[in-house]
Structure 1
């Protein structure tokens, strides 16, 4: 296919998959259960944090996590005590365990108390064409409280070579427009044009087949290469193509 044909093809696939039906089997359904901004962004952040592995397992465990917080994540984050953390019981999703969860909840409490919340934390770094520096700045702030070093692995850092798939997915949820009924369009301090594609095995493989990506590893360099090519097709909203790449890979085995 020519570059023009690839754009037409991906525009059509993006429109096909950016649809409320997408929510049925995707972890983004968890924050869609809430209406308050802070509930959406906190439930989305925690869900994205554990979003690796089997999607059914992700959704089940994210649902359990919301129930543990009485389905009021912002209230729980704001007002929980050490006793509340102790009564949460046992939670684990792959390598994310109760120790990690306790720190995440305490750090989220700190973020709203001292940094203006999650959105503000992602915009601490100077605004650039890409939000990747913002992700690194966010991680530094998020782990400013005393913590076990192992917990840091649950927030990826682009400056250390990571494609930061889960954080980029979360930012897509929060920033892209809500008009199609999938993403939320909650955050106005970050532009859709700054977003990067959540690069994983599926989207990476499809991108390579379409000659949008040559690098073999799914790392920060590959993400920069893919970003460059997606921005050529739509400089204002390059990450809409995440729906196309993901849908082609997962649902069509392209």
Structure 2
């Protein structure tokens, strides 16, 4: 089977809510039940590690705390920890997002519209968070990400790119809550699964797992879908997760 046909078939087959189930956990299953962009972002930012553990953690969180005062946030989140994040880290990210007065989409667009670069939109959000809250720790910084001093990304910013996929694309899985962002500008949320599958399929030559690899894989996928290269992301992820590439 030609690679294009295989990718199209996999993308179509995976574009189904059956892909989000207790047997096939994914943070998107939690995000889909939410109607607050800040809460959806939290689902993405905590979306690292074992998928089942991610979902278990997210399902315990009361996202309405984004509207609560600091005292209640501290009391109710005191028992929570997640991998690199301490209880204080989790409290602080809720405080940060609770202080955001504009919509996340508006803040993102301030950066994105300059050069139609999604990473600039992400940097706009990170800068806004830094102005809203001066708290700093390893776990908290891991969550929100860091802006390189020279402005050139090194990390794939996988969780941010996944959030954008959810918010910009609209299909059976992705939410399509944001408008004004071209799906052609999205960058694939590169994780270890998509990185490995991309290399095995000959779509990715770069051996380093970084931003340049994410861009290279996205550009390769544009050969098949110039207007929406990231539509293949979930299929590539599942193929890697299930070891479905021979």
What TM-score, normalized to structure 1? 0.86
- Length, aligned pairs only: 234
How far residue 215 of structure 1 moved from its aligned partner, in angstroms, is 0.8
Give 1:171's aligned residue: 164
Q: Is the 8 A contact 1:156 1:162 kept in 2?
A: no
How far residue 15 of structure 1 moved from its aligned partner, in angstroms, is 0.7
Match of 1:122 among 108, 114, 127: 108
The answer to whether the aligner puts 1:9 opposite 2:6 as a matched pair is: yes
Which residues of structure 2 form unaligned runs of 5+?
Answer: none
The answer to whether the aligner puts 1:196 opposite 2:196 as a matched pair is: no
SS at match of 1:203: helix
Match of 1:227 among 211, 214, 218: 218
Mapped to 2, the partners of 1:23 and 1:175 lie a distance apart of 19
Give 2:136's aligned residue: 148
Q: Is the 8 A contact 1:11 1:244 kept in 2?
A: no
Superposed CA RMSD in Å reads: 1.7
Give 2:52's aligned residue: 56
Which residues of structure 1 form unaligned runs of 5+?
Answer: none
The answer to whether the aligner puts 1:33 opposite 2:33 as a matched pair is: yes
Gap change, CA 1:157 and 1:215, over 3 Å in 2 = farther
Q: Which has the higher contact order (CA 8 A, sep 6+)?
A: 1
How far residue 63 of structure 1 moved from its aligned partner, in angstroms, is 0.7
| Greater mean deviation of Cα atoms: 119-128 or 85-94 | 119-128
Mapped to 2, the partners of 1:198 and 1:230 lie a distance apart of 13
1:175-224 superposed Cα distances (whole Å, 9 cap, x missing partner): 1013x2x1111001322222111101111111001111111121011111
| Runs of 4 or more above 6 Å deviation | none
Gap change, CA 1:227 and 1:95, over 3 Å in 2 = same
